[in-house]
Structure 1
Amino acid sequence: MMNEKRKILVLQFIFLTAHLFLIFTMLSPYIGIAIHFNSNEEVVVTNVYDNDGWARYTNLSPGDVILEVDDKEISSIKNYKYNNCFVHGSSIKIKRNNEMKYIQAPTNSLKDTFQEIIIPSIFSLTVFVLTLFIYQQNSKVAFYLIGFLLSVSLSFFASTESGRGDIVSNILICVFFPLGSLFLTLFIHRLLLEKGIIKNKWLTFFKINSVICLFVIFLKLATLLQSNLLDVISTGLMLSYFCLNICFSIMLLLYFYVATKGSHHEVFFKWLILIHVCAFIPFIFLHAVPFIFNLPYLQDDVAAFTLFIIPIGYSYIVLTNRLIDINFILKQIPYYTFLTFIPTLVLTILVISDRFYTENGVVYFIILFLAILIINIVTLFLKEKLDFQLKDSFLYKQSYLSKNLNEFSQKLPSVMKENDLENLLLNQITEILDPQILLLIRLNKETLEFQSIDYKSNSQSMLTDFIKKKLKNTTTDTLIGNPNYLGIELYQTDSYVTYLWVSQKRNNTTFNMHEKMWLINIVKYVRLVHENLNIVQNIIKSIEKRDTTNHQSSNTLSRFLLQLGEQERIRLASDLHDSALQDQTIWYQKLDKVIQNSSSTLQEEELATLNKIKNGLLDVIKQLRETCSELRPNFMLNTDFTASLEEFCKKKQMKVSYNLKYEFHNFSDYSNNYNLTISIYRVLQELLNNAEKHAKASVVSVEMWEENDYIFLDYKDNGVGMNNSIEKYSEHHIGLIGIKERIHILNGDIEFISEVNKGLQILITIPR
């Protein structure tokens, strides 16, 4: 481990030493002229560059003879020149037409020199400070990353002087320019290795890559002093090696980004890809590739300006605890580009147009201000309109969250307990936000004590004073949030308040605006369902406490309970039909097929046993169908009311031991009044079931008819009967109490006429 730190210290020492030397060199202003030695060994100006140096700001011209540079004799100019092209100095003495003249570097040129030092120095200083933080990690990943950052920084700093022919700058470029690309490949490989994404060390590949890097460096150094074709070839080879390593690194990141898509590594890979693409692609395609193929290209110091993205990007990754959700940003850009394209175009035309220009600055300012204000108002108005129509098509994340919210709302009706509601919510948050920490926090209203439940590990979690303070100061509709956490009040009961605390997403990204809105909306759904659950629980408690034999419940409560029971019957009938009944039918068919195919090979006893099992399955199927029919009498929806009741009595007669006499006169059409028909059906069903279980009757008669605005139902049996006083209080007559509840809901009347051992007669009157 110490070896890595020593290597980093060596790199940092070289980095600082080289920068001090370069800064000292750059403090001497660059003249920006081309020179040659004439036959008299005089230094003659052959060209004054129009894009670099301070000579372009003076009257220096080709043909002038340079006698002194910074008050030094011409004999010492060889200390400044390289390839007979470039020299440094802040003043020169020239001979023009046998006249001696002094030319001093103008003030604006000194300002250019200062800027040439400041901008690269800011870059290098940022990189060096960043390496101090990375240095603490003490690993190979840290060493390779620091090597890459320092190499890029040194190459960028030396690029200006290298282009001017400074020998030290050229040596630094020759060494650290290809070395930086090698460090990048080593860094990315080692990073993938430590994260467990790859298993192999790729030793052979990196040995070959290192050998190629050394070959490129030595070849370029060997040809550094030669202004010939070999120098051009070695420069092209160095650029090619650099480009191939950079492209390989980016492709490697792209490959593993796709391979790990959906994991918590996704956003980290996307950030690395974005940093390297934005930093290197302009340099590769605007300088390196055109240079290699002998096409017009940008100067290296200009094309390399995008390298500023590297220290900025890596500083953000290293220093921040949470990464901005790059997916959210990248998906927002096309949409907002679409929205702002036309306004930007109009503003541009407005600013450059002569039509609105006036020499009166105040009037021109007012015109532009009003025009821009109107354009912004129209743009914002159109944005509100387009958000409803186009935003989901542009922003997949928002569309996905909206779809998820809709799916969540469809699951809520099946929730019947508070624990189920909380688990559903926490599962949904885990799926969408994937947090490292997910807490349900309860505040006891009496003791003001907090209790937290860590959902991710199902263990008690210690609450910090910071979280407690934040929760105590929150209100029902307030979302506590910053890039690192979200908190919100979930709901309240009489004894406690429940809060939700979400912290530290596993992919280390911040919570974006759409995720916050999604959380607020899903909590609103949960609050509504929790309130309904509380209402149901309170109703159940009130039912459990009341005296069912003496206390007549309200119509609203009774109707709610009976409708709830009816819905549960329908659900149970559907479950039985779709699962148990279908499975039994399939097994019956398979067994029947086995018996048919194997009847000739089976013994008689085995065949008889299988047939017995088959018949038993058939009986079970019939019983399930009858049960489903009783739970959900669909036949009542397909025929008229009278025919439905007659069909029910026919089927009932086949099951009971008593003689059932029934007569139903023609009724009006009640197909649109399901509550009435199902209530009468359930009353009749309960009467006949009660006769079978308790009455011990041999004859049961049922008659039903309409008269005026009422429906009349008369029931009579010759069973054991009962005492009228007992009927009102005994818990053994719960079925009859249920009948009374249904008739009461329909605003009807019911009368019991009975004596012990003299049968039972029930007279029911229901308004239509």
Structure 2
Amino acid sequence: MMSNKRKILFLQLVFLLAHFFLIFIMLKPYIGIDVQYNNGQITISNIYDNDGWARYTNLTIGDTILEVDNTNVTTFNTLFKHNNCFVHGSSIKIIRNNEIQYIQAPSDSLKDTFQEIIIPSIFSLTVFILTLFIYQQNSKVAFYLTGFLLSVSLSFFASTESGRGDFISNIIVSVFFPLGSLFLAHFIRMLLIEKGIKINWQLFFRINGFICLAIISSKLLTLFFNNDLDAFNTILVLSYFCFNICFSILLLIYFYLATKGSHHEVFLKWLILIHVCAFVPFIFLHAVPFIFRLPYIQDDLAAFTLFIIPIGYTYIVLTNRLIDINFILKQIPYYVFLTFIPTLILTIFVISERFYSGNIILYFIILFLAILTINIVTLFLKERLDFQLKDSLLYHQSFFSKNLNEFSQKLASVMKEDDLENLLLHQIKETLDPKVLLLIRINYKTTEYQCFDFMQNNAESILADSIKLKLRNNHSDILIDHPNYLGIQLYEHHHIGTYIWLSKKRNNTTFNLHEKMWLINIVKYVRLVYENLNIVKNIIATIENRDTTNHQSSNTLTRFLLQLSEQERKRLASDLHDSALQDQTIWYQKLDQLIQNSNTLQKEDLETLNKIKNGLLDVIKQIRDTCSELRPNFLLNTNFTASLEDLCKKKQAKASFSLRYEFQLSNYANNHNLTVSIYRVLQELLTNAEKHSNATLVSIEMWEDNHFIFLDYRDNGVGMDKISEQYNEDHIGLIGIKERIHILDGEIEFITELTQGLQILITIPR
């Protein structure tokens, strides 16, 4: 049994020989006449109005043909009455009214002949070159694809001459036209099997092969013996061809529906699209109307869409990637909707005689202005439609917009660079589903790189030297676009560039425009968050490294930290109140209800439950006090002085010292920063006195004049040796007080000695 490569070579040899023979025939000009035999003479019975060179001469119906290209026509057997001598030729010798005339083909007919050869030759040459690449694969898929492409090419090349009645061309079309459709059915079957899609219809394909052989034999017999079944067999050949094409399309649709949602979905869509675009025009504009005796266009015109076949199928077989057809199919309805009316108007302009004045320049100007105006209006309409109908017509764009919004919400919880990168990689994997997803760091100075493989592939083998070189020479943040992959720089810091690198999608499709734009936009989000994380990191480093006692920090930094602290206090108080406190209260009420309604419990159990209830009540009170300290009442727009007095009352209830206080202040409801700072200063003074002073008496007095607010704190505690500017645990609270007073442009003075107590005088501008 021959190998697949030898079979392909045999088909290519037959293809070349048949084409050389056809070109030899087609180089002779086509005459364009029908003839009939009368008493041993051959006369012209018809002259075609739209084909051949006879229509440009004085040949008439009834002329007797003596010679074609100096060859006596009576020497040919009637079996071959449609042979080459009656179809092609550059000269005819006729007799008319007993007068012999020589008719030469006009020079224009040679141009027509050349044009008739060019397009089929381009098609055939393209097919043959592609089969040379397919030949290297040495598989059944390659053999059937080669057979299909070469058969279709031969049929297309011979179709014009076959329609003109050339005997050899009719033989070629009769053999290779049905054979090509059979090759196609087998190619689809083997390609699906190669892709892992099971299809067990071997008996059907064998029967199909026998039917093909029978149809070819029947058609050849009618050609040789010229019987009345020729028309029937022509219809049979066309019907068989249409059956195989429609069967292939239905087979693909069936398996597309059966495997929808898998990685084969896009691949099967591509096969269906190629079939439909290549064959539907031929079937419904030529074959079906011809079969049912309806008006039809010529086969050579209808077959122009066959150019899709060699390009489409070879693209699938030779490449490992596919253009994202889902993206294309989703865009087509929108563009059809958008361009239908402008196209209709332009068509009316072009075909209407009303706008044509006879002056070609004036007509050009009118047409140019009309097209320009229509395009401008269409662009304005597009902007309007994009805004109003984006969810229905532009689902793809809407999906990516929502995706970006969801991602931006997730970014709010990111606090570290590693978390940011992991979040991005997960989002890319879920949205784009690439085969390979890498995070690459490159040191531009040492040209070393680190590769983190998110998809658990062999990253070292994926990163070719050319890719490494491309990344090392790239310092821009634009998209690195390639049919097989996408790359983009996330950020660059201290000569280290961080890149995202991803291959084509798992369904072998390339990235479409919207996916590329999504990747660019999501990286912009990540860059912004990364910059903010770096700013926060630098601020923290500054705080950690600064000398907190010998150098005064900047007002901006201190204010930022204090505001951040207040926000965290507020958030924590809200979380405690809305979650823990509410849950504790509910359980307390249930426990109390259980105790009140229980008559079966023993006395000891009731006492235990009451202790638990009282303990739970204490916990609730402690949580409420904590919430109150974290978020004081004055933040809820209560009276400022009342909030300070409430703070002192609560502290007195827990402290071991006596607390005297007096506040003579206005209500500073409109100055939030001032009230918060004074409240926190007083809170810290009382906390510090409770923890460190060992005092028995603490007094606080606050008053104001037209320009300043004064605070006088005194206690009879242990005092201090001096207020050193050293940073230690005992001074953390005092340092916080100094920072708050500093950002208010106030002054603070410490008066103290060991065992002599402590006095703090604070002056704050109003």
User: Which residues in structure 2 correspond to 1:608-619 (within 5 Å)?
Assistant: none
Please state how far the C-alpha of 1:557 moved relative to its aligned partner.
1.3
**C-alpha separation between the residues in 2 aligned to 1:429 and 1:81?**
70
Distance 1:643 1:52, change over 3 A: farther
1:296 matched residue in structure 2: 295
> Post-superposition shift, 1:660?
5.7
Residue identity opposite 2:249 in structure 1: I
Contact 1:558 1:745 in 2 (8 A): yes
CA distance in 1, matches of 2:174, 2:595: 88
TM-score normalized by structure 2?
Answer: 0.82
Q: Say which is worse superposed, 210-219 or 88-97, in terms of deviation.
A: 210-219
Quote the Cα distance in structure 1 between the aligned partners of 2:609 and 2:200: 65
> Which position in structure 2 is the counterpart of 1:548?
548
Assess if the C-alpha contact under 8 Å between 2:134 and 2:318 holds in 1: no
Whole-Å separation in 1 of the counterparts to 2:689 and 2:239: 98
Contact 2:595–2:606 (CA<8 Å) still a contact in 1?
no
Shift of 1:645: 4.4
Deviations 1:439-474 (A, max 9, x none): 444443554544444444487637655445544544
1:286 Cα deviation from its structure 2 partner? 0.7
The 5 A counterparts of 1:182-221 are 182-196=182-196, 198-203=197-202, 205-207=204-206, 209-210=208-209, 213-214=212-213, 216-217=215-216, 220=219
For 2:274 and 2:761, the matched residues in 1 are separated by: 86
Closer, same or farther in 2 for the Cα pair 1:80/1:415, shift >3 Å? same
Counterpart-to-counterpart distance in 1, 2:526 and 2:405: 13
Partners of 1:81 and 1:421 in 2: how far apart?
82
User: 1:290 offset after TM fit, Å?
Assistant: 2.0
Offset from partner CA, 1:52-94 (integer Å, 9 cap, x none): 3332222222222333334223241525435999744443333
Secondary structure (helix, strand or coil) at the match of 1:136 reads helix
Q: Deviations over 1:108-139 (max 9, x none)?
A: 33333333333222212211221221121222
Distance between the aligned counterparts of 1:589 and 1:663, measured in 2? 38
Structure 1 residues 282 and 389, CA gap change in structure 2 (3 angstroms): closer
| 1:337-736 aligned within 5 A | 338=338, 342=342, 345=345, 349=349, 364=361, 368=364, 372=368, 376=372, 379=375, 383=379, 387=383, 390=386, 393=390, 395-444=394-443, 446-457=445-456, 461=460, 466-467=466-467, 469-471=469-471, 473-476=473-476, 479-509=479-509, 515-573=515-573, 588=587, 627=626, 630-632=629-631, 636-637=635-636, 639-646=638-645, 664=663, 667-670=666-669, 672-696=670-694, 702-716=700-714, 719-725=717-723, 730-736=728-734
Q: C-alpha distance in 1, partners of 2:241/2:603?
A: 86
Q: Distance in 1 between matches of 2:599 and 2:293?
A: 90
Correspondence for 1:277: 276
Distance in 1 (alpha carbons) for counterparts of 2:459 and 2:466: 17
Taking a change above 3 Å as real, the CA distance of residues 222 and 460 of structure 1, as seen in their structure-2 partners, is: closer
Identify the residue that residue 64 of structure 1 maps to in structure 2.
63
SS of 1:416's equivalent in the other structure is coil
Q: Distance in 2 between matches of 1:754 and 1:83?
A: 129
Match status 1:243 vs 2:239: no
User: What CA distance in whole angstroms lies between the structure 2 residues aligned with 1:244 and 1:656?
Assistant: 98
Match of 2:125 in 1: 125
CA contact (8 A) 2:489 2:500 kept: yes
Stretch moving more, 97-106 or 606-615? 606-615
In 2: Cα distance, 1:91 partner to 1:747 partner: 113
The number of aligned residues is 760
Where does residue 108 of structure 2 map in the other structure?
108
Cα deviation, 1:666-706, whole Å, max 9, x if unaligned, reads 64252x44333333343344334434444455665555555
Q: 1:494 to 1:231 in 2, by over 3 A?
A: same
Give the root-mean-square deviation of aligned CA atoms. Answer: 4.7
Sort the Cα spacing of 1:603 and 1:417 in 2 relative to 1 into closer, same or farther, 3 A: same
**Shift in alpha-carbon separation, 1:583–1:269, aligned structure 2, 3 A:** farther
How big is the shift at 1:315?
4.0
Distance 1:108 1:379 in 2: 40
Cα distance 1:703–1:190, how it changes in 2: closer, same or farther (>3 A)? farther
Distance 1:155 1:761, change over 3 A: same
Which amino acid is 1:135 matched to? Answer: Y
Q: Residue 553 of structure 1: SS of its match in structure 2?
A: coil
Residue in 2 aligned with 1:46? 45
Report deviation, 1:488: 4.7
Deviates further, 594-603 or 454-463 = 594-603
Pairwise CA distance, 1:555: 1.0
Letter in 1 for 2:149: L
AA paired with 1:390? Answer: D
Q: Can you list the C-alpha shifts for 1:154-187, whole angstroms capped at 9, x where unaligned?
A: 2222322332334444444344333333433333
- Counterpart of 2:98? 98
Worse overlay, 737-746 or 13-22? 13-22
Amino acid at match of 2:51: D
Amino acid at match of 1:733: H
Alpha-carbon distance in 2 for matches of 1:163, 1:611: 106
Determine whether 1:32 maps to 2:32. yes
- Contact conserved, 2:162 with 2:173, CA < 8 A, in 1? yes
Name the CA shift for 1:669/1:159 in 2 (closer, same or farther; >3 Å).
same
Instruction: Mark the CA change 1:449 to 1:186 in structure 2 (over 3 Å): closer, same or farther.
Output: same
CA contact (8 A) 1:453 1:461 kept: no
Question: Are the aligned partners of 2:717 and 2:758 in contact in 1 as well (CA < 8 Å)?
Answer: yes
The 1-side partners of 2:329 and 2:131 are apart by: 29
Q: Distance in 1 between matches of 2:282 and 2:304?
A: 8
Contact 1:34 1:85 in 2 (8 A): no
Output the CA distance in 2 between the equivalents of 1:216 and 1:15.
21
Residues 1:284 and 1:445: Cα distance change in structure 2 (over 3 Å): closer
- Secondary structure at the aligned position of 2:137 is classed as coil
Rounded to whole Å, the distance in 2 between the matches of 1:214 and 1:608 is 101
Partners of 2:94 and 2:104 lie apart in 1 by: 11
Kept in 1: contact 2:256–2:268 (CA 8 A): yes
**Alpha-carbon separation, structure 2, partners of 1:125 and 1:51:** 28
Q: Quote how far apart the aligned CAs of 1:427 are.
A: 3.8
Superposed displacement of residue 282, structure 1: 0.8
Distance 2:655 2:253 in 1: 75
Aligned to 1:744: 742
1:311 pairs with 2:310: yes
Q: 1:715 to 1:381 in 2, by over 3 A?
A: farther
Amino acid aligned to 2:302: A
Distance of 2:659 and 2:160 partners within structure 1? 110
Task: State the secondary structure of the residue aligned to 2:44.
Answer: strand
What is the alpha-carbon distance in structure 1 between the residues aligned to residue 603 and residue 213 of structure 2?
90
Which moves more between the two structures, 439-448 or 306-315?
439-448
Q: Which range moved further: 593-602 or 637-646?
A: 593-602
DSSP 3-state at the match of 1:678: helix
- Residue 414 of structure 1 aligns to a residue whose secondary structure is coil
Q: Quick check: 204-213 or 131-140, which moved more?
A: 204-213
Q: Do 1:45 and 1:65's aligned partners in 2 also have CA atoms closer than 8 Å?
A: yes
Deviation at 1:558, TM superposition (A): 1.0
8 A Cα contact 1:636 1:644, kept in partner? no
Per the TM alignment, residue 742 of structure 1 is displaced from its structure 2 partner at its CA by 1.9
The separation in 2 between residues aligned to 1:245 and 1:612, in whole angstroms, is 88
Q: Quote how far apart the aligned CAs of 1:380 are.
A: 6.3
1:766 aligns with 2:764: yes
Q: Cα 1:469–1:661, aligned 2, differ >3 Å: closer, same or farther?
A: same
Please say if residues 720 and 753 of structure 2, whose CA atoms lie closer than 8 Å, have aligned partners that are also in contact. yes
Pair 1:181–1:703, CA change in 2 (3 A): farther
1:343-390 Cα offsets, whole Å, 9 max, x none, are 99569838976768576x8xx38x947984896599569848954873
1 CA distance for matches of 2:751 and 2:124?
Answer: 104
Q: Distance in 2 between matches of 1:187 and 1:55?
A: 44
Structure 2: unaligned runs, 5 residues or longer:
none
1:461 partner SS = helix
* Percent of matched pairs sharing the same residue: 68
Asked whether the 8 Å contact 2:723–2:750 carries over to 1, the reply is no
